[in-house]
Structure 1
Amino acid sequence: MTTNYGAEQIQVLEGLEPVRKRPGMYIGTTGPRGLHHLVYEVVDNSIDEALAGYCTHIEVDINADGSVTVTDDGRGIPTDVHPTTGKSALETVLTILHAGGKFGSGGYKVSGGLHGVGISVVNALSEWVQVTVWRNQKIHTQRYERGIPVTTLETNPSSETKTGTRVSFLPDTEIFTQGIEFDYSTLSGRLRELAYLNAGVKITFSDNRPEEPHVETYCYEGGIKEYVAYMCREKETLHKDIIYVQGEKNGITIEVAFQWSIDAYSDNILGFANNIRTIDGGTHLEGLKAVLTRTLNNIARKRNKIKENEPNLAGENVREGLTAVISVKVPEPEFEGQTKTKLGNTEVRGIVDSLVGETLSDYLEQNPQVADSIIEKAVQAFKAAEAARRARDLVRRKSVLESSPLPGKLADCSERDPERSEIYIVEGDSAGGCFQGDTEIALADGRSISFKQLVAEQAEGKEHFCYTIRHDGTIGVERVINARITKKNAEVIKVTLDNGETIICTPDHRFMLRDGSYKPATSLTPDDSLMPLYRKLSDTGEPGSTIEGYEMVWNPASDSWLFTHLVADWYNRWRGVYSVEEGEHCHHIDFNKLNNNPTNLQRLSSADYLALHRHHIEKTLHRPDVIEKCRQLRQTEEFRSMMSQRMLDPETRQILSEQAKAQWEVEEYKAYMTEKWRAFYESNEDYRQQNTEQLYRAQQRYWRDGENRQVQAERVRQHFIEHPERREEYSLASKQQWQDRELLEWRREKTKEQWTEEFRSKRRAALEKTYYQKTLATLKQIEIDRGFVDLEAYQNYRLQTKDKSVLRFDSFCSRYFDGNEIQALEAVANYNHRVVSIERIEEKFDVYDIEVPHTHNFALSSGVFVHNSAKQGRDRRFQAILPLRGKILNIEKTDDAKIYKNNEIQSLITALGLGIKGEDFDASQLRYHRIVLMTDADVDGAHIRTLLLTFFYRYQKSLIEQGYVYIACPPLYKLERGKNHSYCYSDRELQQRIAEFPANANYTIQRFKGLGEMMPAQLWDTTMNPETRTLKQVEIEDAAKAEELFTILMGDRVAPRREFIETYGTRLNLADLDI
């Protein structure tokens, strides 16, 4: 690291324009958390100076007007002219994103902040910023307002030799609409944390808003050792000394301090990377946990605390009672997420493992009494956990559930802030049917496997990809997750398709129709057109096919074949795995050209592709014995005759053509042939006309291919990512054009010419039903009725119906298939599938389902697309779903041992983050602050809801008392009249809506007996969308009465319950029931 720090150390990567438009992208939120982040970003710059060894004192002041001032005694932000921007380095840093000394190797070795956008983002999101720099015995000042400099850089001489930077700013109320008042305790906690993490740095924090300013100073020479001591101050520690590890390897600095306590039953490990708290963990924490587990198990076996035939202590066992702080400083950190909550550098794990392992082993061997105490505590934790797993009979105040993994059937949300998260507890896998376990799914890896196999393979950690129909109607691939049994002993039906395949599924499972809509299995008829899956292997004998044996899949959107590996390649590019620029060749990593999992593909340049195959060929075709055999073969008469014939073969001609193309790479040859061709072209009028027509037809064929359009769309998207300023340029040019009166008049006249009456009529007909779709559907129906595409019968149908939107077959072929009848007939054959029959099955089966992110549909190997299970009706960012199988245990009349043995209860406790029954409620452990009970609107649904309320009331009443429990209100009915529809939430509301219709009105009523009968969009709009849904918060108005009712209605004494029902049952008006 150089000691120079001037304008040349400031690297510029991009501009500041997007920040005010989308502040959430840069600070996470414009609420209180984002507001305080502005302070942290300015302080982080001062901390960076401290890490570089140039700053010892940082002052943070909340001023009386609500602004904040941060002052340090570092070197001061450079003020000389930046060689790239032509502005001062100070203005460059404050007005351009990703401009600062933390980029490259010239400024800072390590740094914190929001990926380096910090101080410029503070400038952009503040009403004003005032900067003062002391440097080179001069004082430099400049003022900015909403990111724009309003004064020039003023420079005055100074008699002082001090150096440093002072940044004052007032957050902009236009951005922070919830208020700009800083919370003292929030800032105090973070500043104290920074002082612990940076030993010896003095931080003075002053709040000047009250009449008597409040001032605190933080300075800890012991660094994170003092941090651990601070956290353990109220605990009975198991060993006196705090174990401390410090070291550096490959430029990465590691600091770890930890101590065990006797009276703590969980671990408390804080991880930091470049002073940023990594609340979601990362490789540094993974390394620490791994080395602790391994080291303590080794010591335990060495000291005979674990017998040879006994299992190792688990990680959560050895960490019980542990308080630890790990701080790493990484020159090139890789963080997951804009707010830096998880460290991704893989090399950090090994460095932590190595340094901590050596120090901890030495310490424990030199202090055997401490080692024995830690191991004995871990062994006790292990025994307690085992006992709890067997009977959940608590041996002390420690729940194994706290360290259990989340239940597999939980569809969690991505939000990690419990206050922003909510969980829906649903009955079974509501809003989706399921399949018998032997039903097979078509996978992108070339296999078709059953749901049972899928569950087993996912349990082994294997990843699967299925075929799916994307939102634009094109074929795609997508991940398969959460394969599981959704219901045992379910009623099923058997669906037989026109290809002879049979599917056993629940009656409500939805099948995709050719238009992309869905229909429950039990409602399908032979007239329904099902979305098909067709696959084949490429054949070089077919026109246009140049590669042999690669899988192709039919694309319903374009009615054409696509190579499956190109579909999977698009998925990788869409997910950002790689880009087209990384190479023009799409390579199967395992050399299996039928395994089209996106994880099995990579992009390679021509050179890398050839090198890879050259290396591979040396292991096969280029072995000495193979070469000798080939030499002998080429000398035979049969070989010579065969080669003579092969020269006439189209494939050989193709090879020769490719060789000719290679010859065109020679510049001299290219120049000669170009000159000769131009002379021919300019002297031949007929050829020029023919060439123009060929080019026109070629571009039509090219743009008709959906894959080509997708590639171009990707190019355009990438262009605007690399050149964001172009959007503004095009927008400005467009606005200027629309102000040009001559241009507007010209456009107006052209529009009049175009919009003739004939054009309007044709356009209206095309919008109602396209010629293409109607013609294709009619041809398919002829094929179904006659067993083949009878063109005479088709023509008779056209003449009888006089439907001009059904094209003549030759016109259809010419317009959409370049006159190729074979391709047109192939499109007809692959248009759809039909249902032949549906029959009920007396036998009941366990049924399965999967979840498919984003598209929520998948292809069965039988050749049709179906919907996945119910979890798509939610917003995955903040909504989780936990399906419970059937009616959960009534804990009112069940002892604790049975409660903890029950799988559904375990899932519920673990998913919510609850502790042991009877423990004090700890809201910080609750994973969701809105727990929503969502059950079907029938008797079973009401019973399940009551059992859940009983669980919450008896197991952890504080959940209800503190307002965390809600009941969802899905509609009972969908009322449709014409194109309009409405949802009714009670019988009374339904009757009121019907009464508003005219007496002779036609309408339909759909009764939602279960959530599974609702489409995902319906479920979202009516029940889960925070903007439109209705939730009822569960409250206890009369605690004594509630206690009495739960005891009577849910207890194990029958007589009081009978008396209650006989007394109050006759008074119940079902229409008034509100639950």
Structure 2
Amino acid sequence: MASKSEYSARHLSVLEGLEAVRKRPGMYIGSTDSRGLMHCLWEIIDNSVDEALAGFGSNITTILHADGSVEVQDDGRGIPVDIEPKTGLSGVEVVFTKLHAGGKFGGGSYTASGGLHGVGASVVNALSARLDVEVDRGGKTYRMQFRHGEPGTFADSGRPSPDAPFTPAEEAGALPVVGKAKRGVTATRVRYWADRQIFTPDATFDVEALVRRARQTAFLVPGLRITLRDARRLTDAEGNRLPESEEVLQYDGGISEFVEFLAPDAKVTEVWRIHGTGTFHETVPVLDEKGHSRVTEVERTCEVDVALRWGTGYDTTLRSFVNIIATPKGGTHQAGFEAGLLKSVREAIKANARKLKAGEEKPEKDDVLAGMTAVLTVRLAEPQFEGQTKEVLGTPAVRQIVSKVVASQIAERLAATGRNEKAQATTLMEKVVNEMKTRISARKHKETQRRKTALESSTLPAKLADCRTKDVSRSELFIVEGDSALGTAKLARSSEFQALLPIRGKILNVQKASVADMLSNAECAAIIQVVGAGSGRTFDLASARYQKVILMTDADVDGAHIRTLLLTLFFRYMRPMIEDGRVYAAVPPLHRVEVIRRGKANEMIYTYSEAELHRVLAALDKEGLNYKEPIQRYKGLGEMDAEQLAETTMDPRHRTLRRVRLEEAGSADRVFELLMGSDVAPRKDFLISSAHRLDADMIDA
């Protein structure tokens, strides 16, 4: 280390060309792990996508080779092969060796593209042990090869390899012709081997992530056909070699189809499509013919395209893009979208406040976004991103343009007079108002104590038989079927930690009902109030008043139906309770066998299925023991006395509980929608196709 007096200009380092990329790769690709490796691949793929976006080419093929290399092929115009006048180099060499060079700097080649900085291809080249590029143009095939970004020639003997002898190019600007191409055919093929001295040893290509992003791109560019081929021949955990795989992605429906693909719930509105444009002026530095920078004001055009719909759920799915490049952290376009949406919905609800019973409160952004699935895309020339990874759009003027387009067209939708459009608008506004009311209720609830004192307990439903403990970790809430079962359960419970809430018969099927119907239903509202943690998006698990919620219904078909309806309520509006494993189903017995013991008190044996009953009776017969007949078959909880109910179903020392688990939310959502949703036809088909599995003897008739 140089001392203070010795520090001089000779201690300064000057990194030229691609040397800076190899020295500080994180500045250009974010990291050198798998994420950075995937970023490099997408820099090459995005160049091909930009060609398709500009209307040139409709096929992109990506191949992961067994030797660790990756190849990207497209049928675009092909990289220019003529000489670039300022550098004296071919267009291919300029693109792959010069930072901040390409066709995306206002030259008219691309009106909108994902590339901005012009460093994508050159950075990939710099971070590759070897890169080969072939271009078909003008009836000829051109090839150029690079090692660590330096042009030259590899002397391959057989399969191409980065370890083959390499000879640097002697003549600057030379672009060898290696074959003939069909007349009128243009294409580009890029194959590269990532430099393992740069990337971490465990950096690998994530095929699932590649498919996800390729599918996303195929949605954003209708008609584009993307083929992904994995030819690496990897092995599974048992050492078996996996076969090659191929995925072909093409969607002609665009972002409307994308929204349907992303939507996790049943629809409240159809997919609404919003189009619009706006212009703005931007001051940018422009180089004149002498290379002098001159500040110039240019007019930009911003195209806005949005597809969105609302569903019955409360989760929000919003994907935003700039020139088909994902912006997962948002930016000015997303801020404008949310502002315009909130403004128009607020104004529509204010105009219909009396009909909607909205009161004086205003909806907030989260109220409007609840249950919404949307894809937002904007297209403009030379967008300002924050960083090369392009995760945030920074162009300020885009916010106002997007906000204006969205606000005006959403307002038109909400004020539509057509029968179907008006019904959708009304349902949406009711949903937003209900979300607002739920949020306000949750806020008020948080402002009160979790446990009410005896004086305050009147705010809870009168039919609730609460427990005495204030220790939530010990408390249990039994939701019981009917008042008859409640009477027995009161005598059977431990009032110290077990609370009881009776419900009258079958509650509302919330999978088919709107949020407003659910909140206005006395049974559903009582359950949500007693659990005490709110509902839907505002549900706060930490505020739940009970550690366990146990559904205790009769052991018959009606009881199973009631249990299913209750589970639907918890799944739709109190899902964190299920995810945290705090919802249970009680398992009451089906039969009671009274074994006669001579000289002793008779023994009671409880069985929980027909098969278990037959096994018990067979064992008793084998031992020569007698039992009273007929065997008692419990039709409902009310047929048990308190001692029997406590012993078999409520006493933690003897009872059996089934914990309700949620392994896969997506699959569970589809099952609930199939069995409990408003679309009857799929349910009918399911019942018909599954009828042969039903044992008619098991039906209580």
Q: TM-score range by the shorter chain?
A: 0.5 to 0.7
Of residues 233, 250, 268 in structure 2, which corresponds to 1:219?
A: 250
Q: Verify the 8 A CA contact 1:27 1:114 in the aligned structure 2.
A: no
Which residue is 2:441 aligned to?
A: 387
Of the structure 1 ranges 200-209 and 121-130, higher mean CA displacement relative to structure 2 is found in 200-209
Name the CA shift for 1:214/1:955 in 2 (closer, same or farther; >3 Å): closer
Which residue is 1:154 aligned to?
A: 176
Which residue is 2:302 aligned to?
A: 252
Which residue is 1:349 aligned to?
A: 399
Of residues 314, 326, 336 in structure 1, which corresponds to 2:364?
A: 314
Q: Verify the 8 A CA contact 2:46 2:115 in the aligned structure 1.
A: yes
The Cα shift of 1:126 comes to: 0.9
Of residues 200, 214, 217 in structure 2, which corresponds to 1:177?
A: 200
The Cα shift of 1:914 comes to: 11
The Cα shift of 1:363 comes to: 2.4
1:916 aligns with 2:544: no
Which residue is 2:314 aligned to?
A: 265
Of residues 119, 122, 136 in structure 2, which corresponds to 1:120?
A: 122
Which residue is 1:375 aligned to?
A: 429
Secondary structure of the corresponding residue to residue 93 of structure 2: helix
Partner letter of residue 86 of structure 1?
G
Of residues 272, 275, 282 in structure 2, which corresponds to 1:243?
A: 272
Name the CA shift for 1:33/1:890 in 2 (closer, same or farther; >3 Å): farther
Cα deviations across residues 905-940 of structure 1 (Å, max 9, x unaligned)? xxxxxxxx9962499xxxxxxxxxxxxxxxxxxxxx
Equivalents in 2 of 1:138, 1:214: separation in Å?
32
Name the CA shift for 1:31/1:165 in 2 (closer, same or farther; >3 Å): same
The Cα shift of 1:283 comes to: 1.1
Equivalents in 2 of 1:35, 1:890: separation in Å?
51
Q: Verify the 8 A CA contact 2:138 2:183 in the aligned structure 1.
A: no
Bigger radius of gyration among the two? 1
Equivalents in 2 of 1:918, 1:136: separation in Å?
71
Q: Verify the 8 A CA contact 2:104 2:116 in the aligned structure 1.
A: no
Partner letter of residue 374 of structure 2?
A
Name the CA shift for 1:190/1:309 in 2 (closer, same or farther; >3 Å): closer
Cα deviations across residues 598-626 of structure 1 (Å, max 9, x unaligned)? xxxxxxxxxxxxxxxxxxxxxxxxxxxxx
- Can you give the 5+ residue segments of structure 1 that lack an aligned partner in the other structure? 1-13, 395-888, 897-912, 920-953, 959-1039, 1041-1075
Q: Verify the 8 A CA contact 1:918 1:956 in the aligned structure 2.
A: no
Secondary structure of the corresponding residue to residue 150 of structure 1: strand
Partner letter of residue 141 of structure 1?
R
Equivalents in 2 of 1:44, 1:918: separation in Å?
47
1:61 aligns with 2:63: yes
The Cα shift of 1:895 comes to: 12
Equivalents in 2 of 1:33, 1:144: separation in Å?
23
Q: Verify the 8 A CA contact 1:41 1:114 in the aligned structure 2.
A: no
Q: Verify the 8 A CA contact 1:295 1:357 in the aligned structure 2.
A: yes
Give the TM-score, by structure 1 length.
0.35
- Can you give the 5+ residue segments of structure 2 that lack an aligned partner in the other structure? 1-15, 154-168, 170-174, 234-241, 280-300, 449-469, 478-537, 545-576, 582-651, 653-701
Secondary structure of the corresponding residue to residue 284 of structure 1: helix
Which residue is 2:99 aligned to?
A: 97
The Cα shift of 1:123 comes to: 0.5
Which residue is 2:215 aligned to?
A: 192
The Cα shift of 1:311 comes to: 2.0
Cα deviations across residues 244-281 of structure 1 (Å, max 9, x unaligned)? 1123322211110001001x112111111122221221
Of residues 409, 419, 435 in structure 2, which corresponds to 1:359?
A: 409
1:330 aligns with 2:380: yes
CA RMSD, aligned part only? Answer: 2.9
Partner letter of residue 541 of structure 2?
I
Count the aligned residue pairs. Answer: 399
1:944-955 mapped onto 2 (5 Å cutoff) = none
Equivalents in 2 of 1:202, 1:295: separation in Å?
37
Secondary structure of the corresponding residue to residue 541 of structure 2: coil
1:195-214 mapped onto 2 (5 Å cutoff) = 195-210=218-233, 212-214=243-245
Which residue is 1:131 aligned to?
A: 133
Name the CA shift for 1:319/1:30 in 2 (closer, same or farther; >3 Å): same
Name the CA shift for 1:331/1:914 in 2 (closer, same or farther; >3 Å): farther
Q: Verify the 8 A CA contact 2:134 2:190 in the aligned structure 1.
A: yes
Give the structure, 1 or 2, with the largest relative contact order (CA under 8 Å, sep 6 or more): 1
Q: Verify the 8 A CA contact 2:274 2:406 in the aligned structure 1.
A: yes
Q: Verify the 8 A CA contact 1:245 1:356 in the aligned structure 2.
A: yes
Equivalents in 1 of 2:227, 2:130: separation in Å?
23
Which residue is 2:53 aligned to?
A: 51
Q: Verify the 8 A CA contact 2:112 2:381 in the aligned structure 1.
A: yes
Of residues 31, 34, 51 in structure 2, which corresponds to 1:32?
A: 34
The Cα shift of 1:956 comes to: 9.9
Partner letter of residue 223 of structure 2?
G
Equivalents in 2 of 1:112, 1:159: separation in Å?
30
Of residues 259, 277, 282 in structure 1, which corresponds to 2:331?
A: 282
Q: Verify the 8 A CA contact 1:26 1:114 in the aligned structure 2.
A: no
1:575-654 mapped onto 2 (5 Å cutoff) = none
Q: Verify the 8 A CA contact 2:104 2:115 in the aligned structure 1.
A: no
Cα deviations across residues 622-674 of structure 1 (Å, max 9, x unaligned)? xxxxxxxxxxxxxxxxxxxxxxxxxxxxxxxxxxxxxxxxxxxxxxxxxxxxx
Secondary structure of the corresponding residue to residue 399 of structure 2: helix
Secondary structure of the corresponding residue to residue 371 of structure 1: helix
Equivalents in 1 of 2:472, 2:81: separation in Å?
70
Q: Verify the 8 A CA contact 2:262 2:317 in the aligned structure 1.
A: no
Equivalents in 2 of 1:284, 1:79: separation in Å?
37
Equivalents in 2 of 1:50, 1:957: separation in Å?
47
1:41 aligns with 2:43: yes
Equivalents in 2 of 1:168, 1:301: separation in Å?
59
Equivalents in 2 of 1:308, 1:321: separation in Å?
19
Partner letter of residue 191 of structure 1?
A
Cα deviations across residues 22-78 of structure 1 (Å, max 9, x unaligned)? 100100000111010111000110111112111211111111222111111111001
The Cα shift of 1:231 comes to: 1.0
Q: Verify the 8 A CA contact 1:54 1:74 in the aligned structure 2.
A: yes
Partner letter of residue 243 of structure 1?
W
Name the CA shift for 1:346/1:890 in 2 (closer, same or farther; >3 Å): farther
Equivalents in 2 of 1:914, 1:132: separation in Å?
57
Which residue is 1:292 aligned to?
A: 341
Secondary structure of the corresponding residue to residue 348 of structure 2: helix
Name the CA shift for 1:326/1:303 in 2 (closer, same or farther; >3 Å): same
Secondary structure of the corresponding residue to residue 238 of structure 1: coil
Partner letter of residue 154 of structure 1?
P
Of the structure 1 ranges 26-35 and 84-93, higher mean CA displacement relative to structure 2 is found in 84-93
Name the CA shift for 1:162/1:915 in 2 (closer, same or farther; >3 Å): farther
1:765-780 mapped onto 2 (5 Å cutoff) = none
More helix by share: 1
Equivalents in 2 of 1:138, 1:23: separation in Å?
35
Equivalents in 2 of 1:376, 1:333: separation in Å?
38
Cα deviations across residues 270-309 of structure 1 (Å, max 9, x unaligned)? 1111222212211111111111111112222223345686
The Cα shift of 1:166 comes to: 0.5
Equivalents in 1 of 2:55, 2:17: separation in Å?
30
Equivalents in 2 of 1:347, 1:200: separation in Å?
31
1:712-731 mapped onto 2 (5 Å cutoff) = none
Name the CA shift for 1:208/1:114 in 2 (closer, same or farther; >3 Å): farther
Which residue is 1:228 aligned to?
A: 259
Give the TM-score, by structure 2 length.
0.54
Equivalents in 1 of 2:223, 2:433: separation in Å?
39
Q: Verify the 8 A CA contact 1:297 1:312 in the aligned structure 2.
A: yes
Cα deviations across residues 467-513 of structure 1 (Å, max 9, x unaligned)? xxxxxxxxxxxxxxxxxxxxxxxxxxxxxxxxxxxxxxxxxxxxxxx
Secondary structure of the corresponding residue to residue 431 of structure 2: helix
